[in-house]
């Protein structure tokens, strides 16, 4: 987009940024507290600068100075969503990261961009009885922004191969931003088979010689027995009693039926999380092979291009680190939906 510039807060390895880049926006910079994201962010988003800072340390003047004077200023971000996730609420975990949404609102009000977008989990809208989200919206409205929010965007409706539902918020000085129409009907949803079905087989704990990111974590002997007893779409309730984890034998374990599961070939994948590389962390078992999905498969299901560079040449591939990077990212194709919605809005209003 000509004379439009974007800055991405909580940028991670660049999923949101890359969607804007692919839609021809000029992304100036991304800001994140995790320095290990720098290489992937800068290597794949030519010209975008990685700024290693916590939002609490970020001065509005530092962001404002990045924008050319005559450009439409766009500020986007996805504050860490773990505090609002249904999993963490079920586990009773407390996480002070929820305050980052409020800090993002403060930054917006100080920077005064023309257009804003925020992506997060739907639970943000009800977290603490909706107070955090309502306060965010009111703060923006009080500064003259027109806000529209879409609390339940179902990713398969936009060609994203995950059964992932997200909250997307837009705000603009020029009017209300409408999200673009859905691009896929249920019979057109992209499936696990379409995305990873052609990758070469690898074993548990193994990796491809052609693609070092097509690498899997090592399953224990017990988990190998468990996955061999698992069928796509099934649960641990189908296993023999000796395979069931002790925590699942208790009544309190009944709700966790989606762990230790295999994906289904002809459906979208489950939501890719930061621990998708672990078979016991969700329905992350490969549909046929006796292993969890690989780092590459997780990246493809997050709609990163197959040539996206997550690690520098000759650097060690750390499964936990890259799992966190990939799982935390905004799916690139969802970022493209957000970017297209903003582009259409700007064409109509300026």
Buried b or exposed e, range 100-132, using 16+ CB within 10 angstroms? bbeebbebbeebebbbbbbbbbbbbbebeeeeb
Q: Are 307 and 144 in contact (CB under 8 A)?
A: no
Q: Tell me the C-alpha distance between 260 and 244, whole Å.
A: 10
Count the Cβ atoms, other than its own, within 10 Å of residue 15: 29
Query: In what side-by-side order are the strands of the sheet with 49-52?
Result: 49-52, 26-32, 4-9, 72-77, 115-120, 165-172, 146-154
Angle made by CA atoms 121, 227, 287, in degrees to the nearest 5: 65
* Total H helices, total E strands in the chain: 12, 7
Residue 110 lies in a domain: yes
Q: Are 14 and 26 in contact (CB under 8 A)?
A: no
Q: Return left, alpha or beta for 95; rule: phi > 0 is left, psi -120 to 50 is alpha, else beta.
A: beta
Burial category of 30 from C-beta neighbours within 10 Å (exposed 0-12, middle 13-18, buried 19 and up): buried
Residue 51 lies in a domain: yes
What's the confidence (pLDDT) of residue 153? 98
CA distance from start to end of the chain: 12
Q: Are 248 and 236 in contact (CB under 8 A)?
A: yes
Provide, for the chain, the percentages of residues in helix, strand and coil under a 3-state DSSP scheme, each rounded to the nearest 5: 40, 15, 45
Q: Are 262 and 227 in contact (CB under 8 A)?
A: yes
Residue 80 lies in a domain: yes
* 81 assigned to active site: yes
- Pairing of β 72-77 and β 26-32: unpaired
Q: Tell me the C-alpha distance between 57 and 312, whole Å.
A: 28
Q: Which domain holds residue 117?
A: 4-183+331-349
Burial category of 309 from C-beta neighbours within 10 Å (exposed 0-12, middle 13-18, buried 19 and up): middle
Residue 263 lies in a domain: no
Q: Are 5 and 327 in contact (CB under 8 A)?
A: no
Residue 83 lies in a domain: yes
For the chain, give the longest Cα–Cα distance.
67
Residue 81 lies in a domain: yes
Catalytic residue among 4, 37, 78, 81: 81
Q: Are 299 and 211 in contact (CB under 8 A)?
A: no
Q: How many domains, the chain?
A: 1
Residue ranges in the chain whose pLDDT is less than 70? 81-98, 249-258
Q: Tell me the C-alpha distance between 169 and 172, whole Å.
A: 10
Burial category of 314 from C-beta neighbours within 10 Å (exposed 0-12, middle 13-18, buried 19 and up): exposed
3-state secondary structure of 49: strand
HSE of 295, CA atoms in CB hemisphere, 13 A: 27
Q: Tell me the C-alpha distance between 20 and 188, whole Å.
A: 24
Residue 290 lies in a domain: no
Report which DSSP code applies to 261. -
Residue 241 lies in a domain: no
Domain harbouring 137, CATH code: 3.40.50.150
Q: Are 272 and 302 in contact (CB under 8 A)?
A: yes
């Amino acid at each position: 987009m000509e004379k439009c510039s974007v800055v991405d807060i909580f940028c991670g390895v660049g999923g949101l940024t890359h969607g804007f880049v692919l839609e021809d926006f000029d992304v100036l910079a991304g800001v994140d507290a995790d320095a290990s994201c720098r290489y992937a962010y800068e290597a794949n988003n030519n010209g975008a600068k990685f700024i290693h800072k916590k939002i609490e340390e970020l001065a509005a003047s530092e962001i404002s100075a990045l924008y050319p004077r005559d450009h439409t200023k766009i500020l986007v971000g996805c504050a860490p969503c773990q505090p609002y996730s249904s999993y963490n609420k079920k586990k009773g975990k407390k996480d002070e990261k929820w305050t980052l949404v409020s800090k993002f609102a403060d930054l917006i009000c100080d920077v005064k961009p023309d257009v804003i977008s925020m992506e997060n989990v739907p639970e943000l809208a009800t977290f603490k009885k909706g107070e955090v989200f309502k306060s965010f919206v009111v703060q923006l409205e009080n500064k003259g922004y027109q806000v529209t929010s879409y609390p339940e965007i179902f990713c398969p409706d936009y060609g994203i191969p995950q059964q992932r539902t997200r909250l997307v918020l837009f705000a603009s000085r020029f009017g209300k931003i409408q999200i673009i129409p859905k691009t896929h009907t249920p019979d057109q949803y992209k499936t696990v088979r379409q995305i990873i079905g052609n990758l070469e087989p690898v074993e548990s704990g193994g990796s491809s010689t052609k693609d070092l990111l097509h690498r899997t974590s090592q399953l224990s002997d017990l988990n190998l027995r468990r996955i061999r007893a698992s069928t796509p779409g099934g649960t641990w309730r189908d296993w023999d009693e000796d395979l069931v984890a002790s925590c699942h034998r208790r009544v309190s374990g009944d709700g966790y039926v989606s762990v230790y599961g295999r994906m289904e070939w002809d459906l979208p994948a489950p939501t890719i999380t930061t621990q998708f590389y672990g078979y016991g962390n969700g329905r992350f078992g490969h549909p046929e092979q006796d292993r969890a999905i690989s780092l590459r498969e997780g990246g493809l299901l997050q709609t990163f291009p197959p040539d996206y560079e997550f690690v520098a040449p000759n650097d060690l591939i750390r499964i936990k680190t890259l799992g966190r990077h990939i799982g935390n990212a905004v799916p690139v194709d969802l970022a493209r939906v957000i970017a297209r919605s903003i582009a259409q809005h700007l064409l109509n209003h300026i």
